[in-house]
Amino acid sequence: MKASFSRGSIALYHADCRVWLAEQEPNSIQAVVTDPPYGLVEYSPKEQAKLRAGKGGVWRIPPAIGGSKRAPLPRFTVLSDSELTYLFEFFSEWANLLIRVLCPGAYAIVATNPLFNHVVSQAVVGAGFEKRGEVVRLVRTLRGGDRPKGAESEFPGVSAMPRSGWEPWLLFRKRLEGTLADNLRTWEVGALRRPSDDEPFVDVIPSGRTPRAEKRIAPHPSLKPQGFLRQMVRAALPMGTGVILDPFAGSGSTLAASEALGYRAIGVESDERFVELAASAIPQLSAIQAADHSAVSVHMWGQGTRDSREASPSRNGESRQ
């Protein structure tokens, strides 16, 4: 398969990642950092056409608040049992294809959603991966917190579900060959890279919403911020060597983060419009100075982080980011 876009150490393919994975050599990729479609249906051609036509569908288009337009939010809470079964089957198939292509000890860092992470975990572990915990990305989204629909004034003191203040990024690993040290020597993977020799990698990471400047460069409905992605990408290659794969590349933000760090990366994206977007966005995203939220972590368990202060829904309207 020929790359649709390549630049230096980065290549992007326009394909269904399942087809692409089936064509790859075994043990050829060292890490995955990816943000799949949580509900799968929201990135189907039918739902994307409805979103682009402003007709909603599975995408809820929230009313403007205080004059500022809010971004569409997928309605995952309404997924039916059969859609959840489809989600499980999709991730089982995906994980079975992926495990063959990854080197022993390779990490797969997979963004999910508090409503579905159990489904994704069950499918990926079922394919033979080990679960190695999860990273909590602290970010105030607009998900949840609403009063019961149609009965808001009857139940003013009730939230149907929590207003979400975090996003799970699941950590999976292909089983090691021998000990961790053996695996590191042979395959150069099996562990997570420390931010510095004195600091371990930690699994709660303060993160802001995706900055407006990044959204202007890459107007994808699920754009993730460079500040957070660069930390995930850096951690995924413990020796700083190897290839990062993003099989659901969207606007190419993982590839841009990899390029910014000097890593090699491959992306796969099934929607032609996002492939075109990624080709123009990657050079610009990789060049930006990413926001640093590390100062927040010191006070993470205190009365309020910089993130929570920033997270006024009336000022910002992102859905998933």
271 binds ligand SAM, rule: CB under 6 A: yes
Q: Which of 224, 234, 264, 293 binds ligand SAM (CB under 6 A)?
A: 224
**Beta carbons within 10 angstroms of residue 186's beta carbon:** 15
Q: Which of 129, 172, 228, 248 binds ligand SAM (CB under 6 A)?
A: 248
Site for ligand SAM in 202-221 (CB under 6 A): 220
Q: How far is residue 265's CA from residue 286's CA, in Å, rounded to a whole number? A: 12
The pair phi, psi for residue 202, each rounded to 5°, is -110, 155
**Beta carbons within 10 angstroms of residue 69's beta carbon:** 10
**Beta carbons within 10 angstroms of residue 181's beta carbon:** 11
Q: How far is residue 61's CA from residue 68's CA, in Å, rounded to a whole number? A: 13
93 binds ligand SAM, rule: CB under 6 A: no
Nearer to ligand SAM, 176 or 223 (CB): 223
Nearer to ligand SAM, 183 or 270 (CB): 270
Coil/strand/helix, residue 88: helix
226 binds ligand SAM, rule: CB under 6 A: no
- Those residues with Cβ within 8 angstroms of residue 306's Cβ, 6 or more apart along the chain or in another chain: 206, 208, 293, 295, 296
37 binds ligand SAM, rule: CB under 6 A: yes
Nearer to ligand SAM, 37 or 227 (CB): 37
Q: Which two tokens stand for residue 124?
A: 């990926």
Estimate to the nearest angstrom the gap between the alpha carbon of 231 and the chain centroid.
12
16 binds ligand SAM, rule: CB under 6 A: yes
269 binds ligand SAM, rule: CB under 6 A: yes
Shortest spacing between CB 143 and ligand SAM, in angstroms: 14
**Beta carbons within 10 angstroms of residue 196's beta carbon:** 7
* Contact range with ligand SAM by CB under 6 A, out of 2-10, 80-88, 154-162, 247-255: 247-255
Rg (CA), the chain: 19
91 binds ligand SAM, rule: CB under 6 A: no
Q: Which two tokens stand for residue 263?
A: 């890593």
188 binds ligand SAM, rule: CB under 6 A: no
170 binds ligand SAM, rule: CB under 6 A: no
- Those residues with Cβ within 8 angstroms of residue 289's Cβ, 6 or more apart along the chain or in another chain: none
- Those residues with Cβ within 8 angstroms of residue 151's Cβ, 6 or more apart along the chain or in another chain: none
Shortest spacing between CB 135 and ligand SAM, in angstroms: 15
4 binds ligand SAM, rule: CB under 6 A: no
In sequence order, what are the beta bridge partners of 246? 267
Please give the size of the binding site for ligand SAM, defined by CB under 6 A.
21
Nearer to ligand SAM, 121 or 222 (CB): 222
35 binds ligand SAM, rule: CB under 6 A: yes
167 binds ligand SAM, rule: CB under 6 A: no
267 binds ligand SAM, rule: CB under 6 A: no
43 binds ligand SAM, rule: CB under 6 A: yes
Q: How far is residue 285's CA from residue 141's CA, in Å, rounded to a whole number? A: 22
**Beta carbons within 10 angstroms of residue 273's beta carbon:** 11
Residues that bind ligand SAM (CB under 6 A): 16-18, 35-37, 43, 220, 222-224, 247-248, 250-251, 253, 268-271, 274
